């Protein structure tokens, strides 16, 4: 077999693509037959992975997966309670790990640390890691260049710089980089952007995560992986409001933050300037096309409310690994049947999680008071009726179980 031909090619070495590569390496007879193409780019969010200021809420299912891969970050903070409320209206609910017989509702880690651990592990696992230019993946059997490039057994063609490679199966894990193939077209969210930062609370409540719904968008104050004394801030608001806040001094922005959040943590003092993230939303109804499958943000991009995007991407990776188990032992057969099984298995979870986060991000911002009262009443109902709260919390904590 030539060294420019692979059984599986994964384009995009973000957390979803690297996690998939590591899972597949455990079952492939020869991990060098799996290629991971990675280009360290600032991407649509505008931050290189190593400098990305995002903190990520990892649910229990994802923690187990990352632990098994030996890539659980050194710095993390557990979420012991989740408090959900609506600014200026009635209704709040508290989710407690005791209700679910778990020790923590989730953990907060840094995106940059997780990404670098996963990429480091992929390089050590014997996979073929191809760092360099942006890789472009195409189904050569569909292109005009078929006779030159595609061979029946290796119809997926990747180009990276001057090099061309072929593969039996292609995975797009390139986030929101809009490629042909099975990838997704991200839609910028015109109503909300996210401001990310760190704050110190004058009345700290270690281990508590707050999700406060305001008329401008959800505002989350979470534990911070660096220390129990620090809070992570994920402040979603209207783009014009974000512009005003970004132009403020740190002291003025701290005061605006405290006013938006309320007094549950006393006064919130921002410790560094906020970072702005344009938000995107999309759900590709057809993530499998022939021998190419899109996973993670390449298949769906979610609003960050409730912290579901990466958790969903890791479930994509785990299910794809499961579906490819038999095929990987004998990859000379077509993988299309396995990919179609994957597509069917992932449909419900992808759709429900995407719709749920889209609903949660917008329901309190309609400006229509009967709807906002009804949403507040829902929070109150969830609080008083644990049997209603449990399925929602379980879905957000562990994801939909097939």
Q: Which residues bind ligand FAD (CB under 6 A)?
A: 11-17, 37-41, 43, 45, 49, 54, 56-57, 111, 134-135, 173-175, 177, 194, 196, 234, 277, 296-298, 304, 307-311, 313
Q: Which is nearer to ligand FAD, 80 or 297 (CB)?
A: 297
Q: Where are the beta strands (DSSP E) in 128-203?
A: 128-131, 135-139, 156-160, 163-172, 187-201
Given the complex with ligand FAD, which of 7 and 174 has the nearer CB atom? Answer: 174
Shortest separation between residue 338's beta carbon and ligand FAD, angstroms = 21
Residue 22 CB contacts under 8 Å (≥ 6 apart), including other chains: 69, 71, 118, 121, 122, 125, 127
User: Looking at beta carbons only, is 5 or 41 nearer to ligand FAD?
Assistant: 41
Residue 210 C-beta: closest distance to ligand FAD, Å: 14
Distance of CA 96 to the CA centre of its chain: 23
Residue number with CB closer to ligand FAD (91 or 220):
220
Q: How far is the CB of 174 from ligand FAD (least distance, A)?
A: 3
Sequence-distant (6+) residues with CB within 8 A of 101 are none
Nearer to ligand FAD, 328 or 397 (CB): 397
Q: How many C-beta neighbours within 10 Å does residue 203 have? A: 10
Checking 391-396 for CB contacts under 8 A at 24+ apart, the result is: 393/82, 393/95, 393/99, 393/100, 393/105, 394/100, 395/352, 395/353, 395/356, 396/59, 396/306, 396/307, 396/308
Between helices 60-68 and 386-398, what is the axis angle to 10°?
30
Inter-residue contact 300 to 184 (CB < 8 Å): yes
Q: Quote the least distance from Cβ 179 to ligand FAD, whole Å.
A: 6
The closest residue (CB) to ligand FAD is 14
* Residue 284 CB partners (closer than 8 Å, separation 6+): 182, 183, 184, 185, 294, 298, 299, 300
Distance of CA 101 to the CA centre of its chain: 25
Shortest separation between residue 370's beta carbon and ligand FAD, angstroms: 30
Closest CB to ligand FAD among residues 111, 342: 111
> Residue 35 or 89: which CB sits closer to ligand FAD?
35
Smaller CB separation from ligand FAD, 57 or 393: 57
Find the shortest distance in angstroms from Cβ 316 to ligand FAD. Answer: 8
CB of 304 to ligand FAD, least distance (A): 4
CB atoms within 10 A of CB 29: 10
Q: Which residues of 323-354 are buried (b: 16+ CB within 10 A; e: fewer)?
A: bbeebbeebeebbeebbeebbebbeebbeebb
Q: How far is the CB of 75 from ligand FAD (least distance, A)?
A: 15
């Amino acid at each position: 077999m030539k060294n420019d031909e692979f059984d599986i090619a994964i384009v995009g070495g973000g957390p979803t693509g690297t996690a998939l590569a590591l899972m597949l390496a455990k079952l492939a007879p020869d991990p060098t037959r799996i290629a991971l193409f990675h280009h360290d780019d600032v991407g649509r969010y505008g931050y290189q992975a190593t400098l990305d200021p995002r903190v990520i809420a990892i649910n229990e299912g994802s923690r187990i997966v990352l632990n098994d891969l030996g890539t659980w970050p050194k710095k993390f903070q557990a979420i012991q309670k989740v408090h959900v409320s609506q600014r200026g209206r009635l209704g709040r609910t508290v989710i407690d790990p005791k209700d679910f017989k778990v020790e923590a509702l989730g953990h907060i880690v840094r995106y940059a640390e997780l990404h670098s651990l996963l990429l480091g592990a992929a390089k050590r696992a014997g996979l073929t890691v191809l760092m360099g230019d942006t890789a472009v993946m195409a189904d050569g059997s569909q292109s005009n260049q078929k006779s030159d490039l595609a061979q029946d057994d290796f119809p997926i063609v990747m180009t990276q710089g001057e090099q061309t490679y072929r593969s039996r199966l292609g995975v797009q894990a390139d986030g929101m980089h809009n490629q042909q193939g099975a990838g997704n077209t991200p839609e910028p969210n015109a109503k909300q952007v996210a401001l990310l930062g760190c704050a110190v609370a004058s009345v700290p409540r270690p281990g508590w995560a707050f999700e406060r719904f305001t008329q401008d968008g959800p505002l989350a104050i979470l534990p911070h992986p660096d220390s129990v004394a620090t809070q992570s801030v994920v402040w979603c608001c209207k783009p014009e409001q974000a512009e005003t806040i970004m132009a403020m001094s740190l002291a003025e922005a701290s005061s605006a933050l405290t006013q938006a959040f309320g007094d549950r943590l006393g006064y919130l003092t921002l410790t560094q300037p906020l970072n702005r993230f344009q938000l995107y939303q999309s759900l590709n109804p057809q993530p499998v096309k022939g021998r190419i499958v899109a996973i993670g943000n390449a298949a769906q991009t979610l609003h960050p409310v409730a912290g579901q995007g990466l958790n969903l991407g890791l479930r994509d990776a785990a299910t794809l690994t499961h579906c490819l188990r038999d095929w990987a032992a004998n990859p000379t057969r077509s993988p299309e049947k396995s990919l179609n099984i994957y597509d069917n298995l992932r449909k419900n979870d992808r759709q429900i999680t995407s719709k749920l986060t889209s609903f949660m991000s917008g329901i309190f911002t309609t400006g229509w008071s009967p709807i906002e009262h009804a949403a507040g009443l829902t929070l109150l109902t969830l609080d008083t009726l644990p049997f209603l709260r449990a399925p929602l919390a379980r879905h957000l904590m562990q994801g939909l179980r097939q």
